[in-house]
Structures are given as C-alpha cells and as structure tokens.
Amino acid sequence: MEIKSGDSTPGHIEVASSLFDRLQELTDESVTVIKANCTRDGKLQAERLDRFQNGCYELAFCEAEIAAARATLNYVSKHRDKGLVRGIVLMFCADTLKSVLNRFLSYGTDLGVHRKRAQAIYDDPQTLEFLDFHSWAPTAAGLGACIVEENITALPSSLNEEKQLVRDTFSRFADEVVAPLAEEIHRKDTDIPEQIIKAAAELGCFGTCIPERFGGLQPDDHSDSLSMIVVTEELSRGSLGAAGSLITRPEIAARALLAGGTGVQQQKWLPPLASGEMLCAISISEPNTGSDVAAVSLKAKPVDGGWLLNGSKTWCTFAGRSELIVLLARTNPDTSLGYKGLSMFLLEKPAYAGKEFEYQQETGGTLTGKAIATLGYRGMHSYDLFFEDFFVPAENLVGEKDGEGKGFYYTMAGFSGGRLQTAARATGVMQAAFESALSYAQERQVFGKSVADFQLTQIKLARMLATITACRQLSYEVAESMDRGEGQMEASLVKLFACRAAEWISREAMQIHGGMGYAEESAVSRYFVDARVLSIFEGTEEVLALKVIARGLIEKA
C-alpha cells in the first residue's frame, strides 16, 4: 500500500484524544491506589510512599508522556489542513500510546493497576487500527522522506508575530555570534568569551524574567515566561554551555528576589542583573545533599552586622565569572527543623577568569573555588566552593530579618522557572542535533545513495522532529500556566520529559553521523555530551519523578 506523506485516516485526531482519555484513567487509578496504600489517618506517610518508588517513577513518566501527547493534539488542532503536521503528530501519539501502555503492562503491580486494564485498551480494534497505521514503517518513512525532500527543520510555529520576532532575533545571534565560537569553547574548556556575554547583554537576554520597572523585558503587569523559553531555546541551539544557560541563573535569582526580597534589595540587585552589568551564580547543592535541598548544612552564624559562612558547596555553575552568588545556608543550627532552618543570602565577590580562584576579605574570611572537570556543558564551569569565616552583611539576607528561615521557599520560587527553562534548553539542544543529523544525512553517500534515502533514517528523522515538536508545545503550555500562577508541578513534568528526550535525540543524531558522530570535530558529539547533564541538574530525574511529580499528583488526588 502506498502512503503519501502526511496522509492519515479521517477522524484519527479524535481517536487519539479518546485513547489518551482512557490512558489518563489508568494513571488516575494508579494515583488513587498508591495514595490509599500510603495514607494513614488522612495523612500521607513518606516512609510508606518510599515502598512505591518504582511505581511512582513510572507513573511520573506516564503522566509526562500523556501531557506531551495532549500538547501535540492541541497544536495539530490549529493545523488540521497541513498533512505533514497531522502525520507527525499522530505518529508521535502512536509511539506515546505504546510507551504508556507498555509501562502499565510491564509494571502494573507497581502501579497498582491490573494489567488487564491496559491490555483491554491495547486489544481494542480502534487502538489496533490506529497503531497499525501510524506506527507502520512506510507511514513514518513517508513523513521522513517529506522532511528530507523539503528540508524541514521545524513544523509551523504557533508563536504570534511578536514572539516570532524574538525567536528570529536570537536565532541570528546564535548563528552569527555563538555557534562560531562554540566548538573552541567546548574542546578547550575555556571561559565564555566577553563578546558573547556583551552581545547577549545588549540584546537584553539577562532581563527576560525581570520586570520592566527594574530594567528588564518582563511586563510589569503580567508574567511572560514564553519569551524566556523562546530566547533560551535559541541560545541553547547555539551552545548549551556557552549561551543556553546564561539567563538561567538571573532568572532563578530574579524569581527568588521578587518572591522574598525587600523593596531595597530588589532595587539594588535586579537592575544590574537585568542589564548584564552583574552576572550571578546559584549555590544550593552540597557534597552530601545533592537534590535534597532541605538537607543543606552550610552554616551561617549570626555576628555583629551580619553572618559568617563556614562549610562547602558544590556544582555552583559560573561561580568564578559571577560577581553575585545567590546562596542557601542554614541559619538555625537545629537540623531537626529541616528546610525551615534555611535562609537565602546574596554574596558579592569579584569576577575571576579561569578555573580556580581565592577571594580574601578584609575581615579575614575566605572563599575559594575550583572548577569540576566535566564531560560536557563547558564554558560556564561548575565549581566546588569552600567558605571559611566568610562575612555576609545583614542586609544581604534575602528578606532581611523577615526572610530568616524562608530560604527554601524562595529557592523553590526560582526553581520552577529554572526547570521550565531547562526544558527549553533541552529543546534547543535537540533542535541543533536534529538540524545537524538532517544535513549530514542529506549529504553523506553510502551504498550508492544518501543516508537520508534509507527507510530507517527517514523514520528516525520523523520521530526526532515529532518529539522536538512535542517538547516545544508542552513547554509553551506550561509557560502559559505558570504565568497564571499555576503549573509549578507541570514545570517539573516538562523538564522530566524534555531532558530524557534530549538524550535520545542527540544519540540518534550521533548515530546518523556514524563514525563522524564520535569525532570531536563534529558538533553532534558536543550535543550528545551536553544533553546528558540535562536530566541531572535543576533537580535530578529521579527526584523530580518521586518527590515532585508523583507526590504532587498523590497529594492533589
């Protein structure tokens, strides 16, 4: 049977929607069962929930995959007249349908849902017809052939004219300023050159999440997370380490300051952050805590006029070059208080080039930093930090006296935006990897024809583009939700999905390159190692799945 690219059985968009309604019923049932097993006297018991860790992990991915599929269905509803868009979306829905059903068939006991419930959905003639068509190799290959023939690097944009202008502006910046320097920065593990930082500041990228009244680009009367996503994605397409993460730290710092900073603190710190005059780093993780923010132990001891910091931090990205470090420390020595004993500080220091520094205060305190050697994500450098009697003035405690013990909450206010932004970083890396793979496949000749002419390559390209589209559209939806004051858990959901997807897509892009993909002279090798960090920072995949997403679903049920 010959299949034209983009053709699909009439009504299959509605069929897909109804199938995901049925899958949602399974996840809702799983949430109910796990909650019932972990609740005593109306309270959720953390120790009982830990017995369902595997189920919660799979549940989080089910929820993320369903959300991604629904985002593509919402997207295709605006492009029903475009056959390629319909075909790509329905292929993604078929793949996602199989993935979610397989989780329930494989881990039904852990998920608390009898396998027969999932099997009944799979055996339904409507399901089989849908899968037989949209998972059929000639159908997927037809879509891929269309992508190759028309050199399609992205499906039609759903952005309005204003946002599209923002994307185009930063796309040119990524192509003309960032990309030409990206490889040297990565291979030599150098600092981000000032020409990137200065040009980014001139474009206003550091102020994307800071209100206009403080010199930023964010409207004063409402949030605009979508602009932040668009900018981040394009910068990350140029280079994750040299550009894509430049605005993550000021974004987290700004949200924390807006959530808890005094008016004086906001006026002092937000304008220089927005202009790029002052660069910042975020220091939360410690050697023995990782993603367990509540276990932070860096000591902040009150003294006349401020606080003395003693202890260590790790994975503080951009700490050397930054003049401001937003830091979480324990101001109450009673560790039984957990996160309630933590406060947030704004720490000033000189900017240092290179991978090591030592800052000696006039008061005698010291801060030393040493960069951690990493596989990828090079340019910004992540540091181990060591504090010895380091003095921080009282006015640098976020919220001042009223902010004591509230650092955890301010951190979380920043992290939701940071996680959404990380999803955009993942999409940018995926986009770069896909563009590289498509170009190479079109040019490389094997066995008398181009790599792009092979069915398997065409299927890979179609699935890659489908996944990128799903990540992009889901991040857009979550951005709109967060701007309404919602979507905190969903920010973790889209990060979970997009960061895992970035690993797969960068791997497939490398595979399409063959041996050249493993060579450092090929940019796709950089995308591969850069993508690997995405599921680790801003909350590891496991922590987000267990402690944020699954727990959030259970508590809300």
Show the low-confidence residues of the chain (pLDDT under 70): 1-10, 290-294
Q: Does domain 280-408 have CATH number 1.10.260.40?
A: no
Q: Does domain 1-135 have CATH number 2.102.10.10?
A: no
Six-digit token string for 515: 């041996």
SS3 per-residue string spanning 386-421: EEEEEEEEHHHECCHHHHCCCHHHHHHHHHHHHHHH
Q: Using an 8 Å Cβ cutoff, are 531 and 12 in contact?
A: no
Q: Same CATH fold, 280-408 and 1-135?
A: no
State the Cα angle at 232 between 229 and 236, rounded to 5°. Answer: 140
Paired residues of 384 in beta bridges: 370
Q: Tell me how far apart the alpha carbons of residues 527 and 50 are, in angstroms, rounded to a whole number.
A: 35
Six-digit token string for 528: 């591969």
Q: Tell me how far apart the alpha carbons of residues 459 and 144 are, in angstroms, rounded to a whole number.
A: 6
pLDDT tens figures, 280-325 = 999 998 887 765 666 788 899 999 999 999 999 999 999 999 999 9
Query: What is the model's pLDDT at position 10?
Result: 60
In the block, tokens 């309604």 appear at 21
Q: Where are the domains of the chain?
A: 1-135, 280-408
Dihedral, CA atoms, 460, 466, 468, 472, nearest 10 degrees? 180
Could you tell me the sign of the dihedral formed by the alpha carbons of 475, 480, 483, 484, in that order?
A: negative
Residue 335: count other Cβ atoms within 10 Å of its Cβ.
Answer: 11
* End-to-end Cα spacing for the chain: 47
Paired residues of 371 in beta bridges: 383
- Strands 324-330 and 280-283, bridge-based pairing: parallel
Query: What is the model's pLDDT at position 78?
Result: 85
The residue count of the chain comes to 557
Residue at 196: amino acid letter: I
State the Cα angle at 477 between 473 and 482, rounded to 5°. Answer: 145
Q: Where are the alpha helices (DSSP H) in 276-358?
A: none
Query: What is the model's pLDDT at position 9?
Result: 62
470: region left, alpha or beta (phi > 0 left; psi from -120 to 50 alpha): alpha
State the Cα angle at 176 between 380 and 438, rounded to 5°. Answer: 90
Catalytically active residues are 538
Q: Using an 8 Å Cβ cutoff, are 458 and 141 in contact?
A: yes
Q: Tell me how far apart the alpha carbons of residues 120 and 123 are, in angstroms, rounded to a whole number.
A: 5
Q: Tell me how far apart the alpha carbons of residues 98 and 20 are, in angstroms, rounded to a whole number.
A: 11
State the Cα angle at 440 between 435 and 443, rounded to 5°. Answer: 130
Query: What is the model's pLDDT at position 4?
Result: 45
261: region left, alpha or beta (phi > 0 left; psi from -120 to 50 alpha): beta
Residue at 239: amino acid letter: S
Tell me, rounded to whole angstroms, the distance of Cα 69 from its chain centroid. Answer: 18
In the block, tokens 């947030």 appear at 344
Tell me, rounded to whole angstroms, the distance of Cα 135 from its chain centroid. Answer: 28
Cα distances (angstroms) measured from residue 266 to each of 255, 272, 395: 11, 10, 12
